[in-house]
């Protein structure tokens, strides 16, 4: 592989890490204000995993291409690197899918019917992804050595089909609710539509690249394989954390809406509030 192409792949990989780190620091103030306060719950756990665990995985991915990789190469155990990258990529995608599940479930006001539909869609998609990634890991182990492993195209298609099916289903259900489900246009619905479109486009593009990854890896070697994974993790981390943070900001800013005054037991008057409908749709209950 030409040295210049290796440099380009390394620059792309490092650039993805730099963008992910910059996005974290750019929104750190909002994160502290809207997510560090209050009790710790499942939504916040998803946020911190998608933000900080993904960043740690990104850093490890960079290190694996340098000093650590050299040690593993000498030990003839390079397959460990490829298996690790396959697992963290799948784990990052799973976190994003869970977040999208919760958002659409909340959009339908936690309908039990929608919960079952989403669960069926998720199980089908996750099954395809797990089987596909399992075949990928098997190919990595069977190939061995420190060259870019030859992937089973069928395995990549299975994984990409599962991820694509889930994204299309989530996007379609969101659009139906927003346009045909009788949901009024509010800042919340505008936010959900905007974020949903962005995530759908980004994930679709990444899945298309994934389906051509085998040919890219064979022709451009490991540097571009690392670059693809770096971009993938960066896109997933930024998308997942932004989905939660944007919803949280909207929820906190509109948590209470004044509806007048009421008499108190002491004979005075105090302002009463009701929870805004948009907050119910976020499922962020403290």
Of 25-34, 106-115, 171-180, 231-240, least confident by mean pLDDT is 171-180
Residues of the chain above pLDDT 70, percent: 65
* pLDDT in the model for residue 256: 44
Higher pLDDT, 196 or 184: 196
Q: Which long-range contacts (CB under 8 A, 24 or more apart) does 120-126 make?
A: 121/165, 121/166, 121/169, 121/170, 122/97, 122/166, 124/162, 124/165, 125/97, 125/162, 125/163, 125/165, 125/166, 125/169, 126/94, 126/97, 126/162, 126/166
Buried b (16+ CB within 10 A) or exposed e, 269-281: eeeeeeebebbeb
Higher pLDDT, 40 or 191: 40
CA distance 25 to 30: 10
Domains recognised in the chain with CATH numbers: 3-256 (1.20.1070)
First to last CA, the chain: 54
Query: What are 38-57's pLDDT values in tens digits?
Result: 788 888 899 999 999 999 98
pLDDT-based confidence at residue 220 (cuts at 50, 70, 90): very low
Mean pLDDT of 176-193: 67
């Amino acid at each position: 592989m030409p040295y210049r192409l290796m440099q380009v792949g390394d620059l792309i990989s490092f650039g993805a890490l730099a963008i992910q780190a910059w996005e974290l620091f750019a929104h750190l103030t909002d994160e502290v204000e809207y997510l560090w306060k209050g009790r710790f719950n499942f939504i916040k756990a998803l946020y911190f995993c998608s933000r900080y665990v993904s960043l740690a995985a990104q850093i490890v991915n960079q290190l694996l291409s340098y000093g650590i990789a050299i040690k593993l190469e000498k030990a003839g155990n390079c397959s460990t690197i490829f298996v690790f990258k396959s697992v963290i990529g799948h784990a990052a995608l799973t976190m994003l899918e869970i977040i999208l599940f919760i958002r659409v479930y909340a959009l339908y006001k936690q309908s039990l019917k929608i919960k079952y539909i989403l669960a069926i869609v998720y199980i089908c998609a996750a099954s395809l992804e797990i089987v596909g990634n399992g075949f990928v890991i098997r190919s990595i182990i069977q190939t061995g050595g420190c060259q870019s492993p030859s992937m089973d195209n069928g395995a990549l298609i299975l994984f990409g089909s599962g991820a694509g099916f889930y994204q299309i289903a989530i996007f379609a259900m969101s659009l139906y609710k927003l346009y045909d489900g009788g949901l009024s246009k509010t800042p919340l619905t505008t936010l959900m539509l905007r974020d949903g479109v962005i995530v759908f486009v980004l994930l679709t593009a990444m899945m298309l690249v994934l389906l051509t990854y085998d040919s890219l890896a064979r022709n451009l070697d490991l540097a571009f394989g690392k670059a693809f994974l770096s971009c993938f993790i960066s896109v997933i981390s930024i998308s997942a954390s932004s989905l939660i943070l944007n919803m949280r900001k909207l929820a906190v800013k509109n948590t209470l809406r004044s509806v007048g005054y009421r008499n108190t037991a002491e004979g005075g008057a105090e302002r009463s509030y009701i929870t805004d409908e948009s907050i119910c749709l976020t499922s962020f209950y403290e």
